[in-house]
Structure 1
Amino acid sequence: MQNRLLTFENGTQSCCRYRQNFDQIQGEIFSFLLSRELGIGNLPPTSLMLVRPGEWQWSAVRAQLSLAQWAEDRPVVLTQFREQLAPAFIPEPFRGPERRLHPVDLSLRGLELEQHRDTLVELAQWSDLIVFDYLTANLDRVVNNLYNMQWNPSMMEAPAHNLVRDTASGLLLFLDNESGLLHGYRLLEKYEPYHRTMLDATCVFRRATVRRIRQLREAGDVGTTLRRTFRETHPELVDFLPTLPEKSIKILKRRIDNVHEVIERCERTYAS
């Protein structure tokens, strides 16, 4: 109930989320920064700002701020507002009990060349989604569908949670990443089997994503990089929002290693 649509002076709009819990704000912004480090462009542009009713930017909406009960000097998440969006459905290779996306599964299957190309482009984005959600332990997307199968066996046929398709470009948009890197990490004992199921089912990866995983693993400084980028892009937030905790950084490094191991295993399997 505290979410709002903001309209800026130049007419552009942003989805704005106010949260009492700093973890959710941290999860959203650091997940976005990680996506940029990975070269995954499926997250809508995301930023932060402080609620400051006394400043001119907020002057036209001070009454609405009071109604929304937004406290002063609280960080809020801004995500670019997008139109022409449609639900995104989980691809066939991941729906059944024998989930698998391997190179040998990418045959034409009677599709026309253009249809086949579109299918491959979508599957490549799904591969990135699985890698990204595994790294961040986002439990509020495909893992949500998997977990709820125990009550509804047809959940994998339902639209994926917090995932939509831009109907104009075909781009999948990974929405609402606030459970990533903090809340999701605290619940790994419960949800890790579901995260791992999706990662182990995947043996098709974008070359650019593989390259970035290897670079991040070799450099070993992903935490330093994310913290530095946050300070550089949001210097006014440094005193108002905690940085990414050291515990989260250690878990993220281990999960980068795990993704790298799966990539290496797939390369050995399909060496020819």
Structure 2
Amino acid sequence: MSVFTFCHIYALLVVLVVLRGTTSLDDLKICSTPDCPNEHIEVADEIAGTIHRYSQNAANFQEAKASRSPAKDVEPRGHVNGQSPEAIVTAQRQHPVNAVEENIFWSATVEGAIPPGLSYSVTEGWKKRIRQLRVVKVENASIDKCGSNMNRHVVFDDGTTACARYRHPMVQFVLGDLYCYYLGRMIGLQNVPTVVLSHVSNDSSSQWSSVTADIRNAGWKNDTVASFSLWIDNIGKSHLPEIMFNNQRGTIYPSTPGFADLNITTLVELAQFSDLVIFDYITAHLDRMTIRKNAVEYYQQDWLYKGEVHNLAQHKSNGGLWFIDNENGLFNSYPVAYSKANKEQMQGYHEELLRSFCIFRRSTFKNVHGLARMEDPFNALDMAVHHNEPVTKMMEEVKKSFMVGLKERFKQRLLNVVHWMDECQSRSSG
């Protein structure tokens, strides 16, 4: 990717990328020889404004590159269904489980081991409660806690916590997070954090009335809209499974070398990743898997595809993956992905990610097909949002500016997913 294309994307996103001691991408060098200086190496591998840092000395840098494994100080991985580390080791030594059914669907064994996420009743209860609570504490955000510096981590009067996302006047980010959540529910995903909109007001009846000074100091304007997203406790970084790294330009089939030897822990991870690439393709998400594809191409360093996946968290107890921070989906991502300067390259990234798997969860397969068969699937999504989120009406006028071509592109991307799934099914029965 050229420097021009990077700058164009940044301008479209209205985001400034800040590199410590670096004024442009050309100033950033990646050392790949044994005599690398013993200093921090920063990789500008993200196109939406957040910098992921690889902080290693020369020895660790070379070791990570050679072994294609994360740095030594990466937190321990989660364990499936609360298993102890000893149980995981035992499982890894056992004979591999039956992973796939009908040569295309994850087996009942794998499905049964996937952490369930949030049920409909839990999310509905959370949304109802959040709308009735008052914010009593506002904390600054960070890369690891609620993202952008305009966001805040908030505490409600009953002790509940949430991420409060504020983007005024760039409401496409708030809309993206909201619509991605409801899209996730429509295709059966229970691991997209719940989102609720909030009217930011200094009125005495507002849920912000106790912290008006804090939100004023944060630069938030009165009579605007923010969103609350459910805060998931006990989560850590997630890393790309080895088999995905080894097949980063190909497709994972049941016949892929090494697949038959995978243990249940890895299979459960892969099943969740197979959902992720579909979700990110439909939403044209710019700030998760796509940024790794971008980094590999820009620096011509395949090892950059390995390691921490941005905006993807893993529960430390049960190994469940959480598709967090979906601001860069739909309303912001579509204009970027379909812009004249980026269309060919971004479409290529998303297509390659979609084709990462020829194995799917039965529920995802069925639900995506059902949504794609609708005459106007985006309208169904829009109606679901409006039915569940009354504050959305405050954003209708500004939303119109992002609707050009969105409905048609949304359906086309759904049809592209269906075409790929059907192609995989045809191959599996051939």
TM-score scaled by length of structure 2: 0.59
Aligned to 2:384: 229
With 219-228 and 93-102 compared, the bigger mean Cα shift is at: 93-102
CA distance in structure 2 between the aligned counterparts of 1:99 and 1:240, rounded to whole angstroms: 41
In structure 2, the residue matched to 1:100 is 251
Superposed displacement of residue 35, structure 1: 0.6
Deviations 1:172-206 (A, max 9, x none): 11111111112221222031111111112310110
Unaligned runs of 5+ in 1: none
C-alpha deviations, 1:213-242, integer Å up to 9, x for none? 111122233222111112111223313343
Read off the aligned partner of 1:99 and give its amino acid letter. G
- Aligned residue identity for 1:11: G
Q: In structure 1, what is the Cα distance between the partners aligned to 2:329 and 2:158?
A: 32
Q: Secondary structure at the match of 1:50?
A: strand
Q: Indicate which of 166, 174, 178 corresponds to 1:25.
A: 174
Matched, 1:60 2:215: no
Q: Does 1:8 align with 2:156?
A: yes
Aligned residues: 267
Choose the corresponding residue for 2:365, options 207, 210, 222. Answer: 210
Q: What does 1:39-188 align with in structure 2 at a 5 Å threshold?
A: 39-56=188-205, 57-96=207-246, 97-105=248-256, 107-109=259-261, 116-149=263-296, 150-151=298-299, 153=301, 154-188=303-337
Q: Distance in 1 between matches of 2:253 and 2:375?
A: 28
Task: Decide whether the 8 Å contact of 1:53 with 1:65 is kept in 2.
Answer: no
* Whole-Å separation in 2 of the counterparts to 1:75 and 1:192: 31
**In the alignment, residue 200 of structure 1 is paired with which amino acid?**
R
One-letter identity of the residue aligned with 1:199: L
**Could you say which structure has the higher helix fraction?**
1
Q: With structure 1 as the length reference, what TM-score do the two structures score?
A: 0.92
Q: Does 1:263 align with 2:421?
A: yes
Q: How many angstroms apart in 2 are the aligned matches of 1:108 and 1:227?
A: 42
In structure 1, how many angstroms separate the alpha carbons of the residues matched to 2:204 and 2:325?
Answer: 28
SS of equivalent residue, structure 1 residue 187: helix
Larger radius of gyration: 2
Is residue 93–residue 100 contact of structure 1 (8 Å, CA) maintained in 2? no
> Partners of 2:373 and 2:395 in 1: how far apart?
32
Q: Would the aligned equivalents of 1:31 and 1:136 in 2 still touch at CA under 8 Å?
A: yes
Alpha-carbon distance between aligned partners in 1 of 2:321 and 2:159, rounded to the nearest angstrom: 25
Shift of 1:72: 1.3
CA RMSD of aligned residues (A): 1.8
Q: Pick which of 262-271 and 168-177 moved more.
A: 168-177
1:92 CA displacement: 2.1
Alignment partner of 1:180: what SS? coil
1:248 corresponds, among 398, 406, 413, to: 406
Cα distance in 2 for partners of 1:88, 1:152 equals: 23
Contact 2:281 2:351 in 1 (8 A): yes
Q: Which amino acid aligns with 1:59?
A: S
Matched, 1:193 2:193: no
Please, which moves more after superposition, 190-199 or 207-216? 190-199
Report the 3-state secondary structure (helix = DSSP H, G, I; strand = E; otherwise coil) of the residue aligned with 1:238.
helix
The answer to whether the Cα contact below 8 Å between 1:19 and 1:76 also exists between their aligned partners in 2 is yes
Q: Could you tell me how far apart the structure 1 residues matched to 2:374 and 2:291 are? A: 32
Name the structure, 1 or 2, with higher relative contact order (CA <8 Å, separation 6+).
1
SS in structure 2 at match of 1:169: coil
Does the aligned pair in 1 maintain the 2:197–2:391 contact within 8 Å?
Answer: no
Match of 1:239 in 2: 394
The question of whether the paired residues in 1 share the 8 Å contact of 2:240 and 2:306 is answered with yes
The answer (yes or no) to whether the contact 1:73–1:240 under 8 Å persists in 2 is no
In 1, Cα distance between equivalents of 2:300 and 2:237: 19
Q: Which runs of 4+ in 1 moved over 6 A?
A: none
Give the distance between the partners of 2:180 and 2:375, measured in 1 at CA.
18
Given that 1:88 and 1:160 are in contact with CA atoms closer than 8 Å, whether structure 2 keeps it comes out as yes
Q: Identity rate of aligned residues, in percent?
A: 28
> Which residue type is aligned with residue 390 of structure 2?
P
- Provide, for residues 85-120 of structure 1, a one-character-per-residue CA deviation record: whole Å limited to 9, x for no partner: 1111112232135432112237442x5xxxx22222
Separation (CA, whole Å) in 1 of partners of 2:173 and 2:299: 27
User: Structure 2: any 5+ residue segments left out of the alignment?
Assistant: 1-148, 338-342
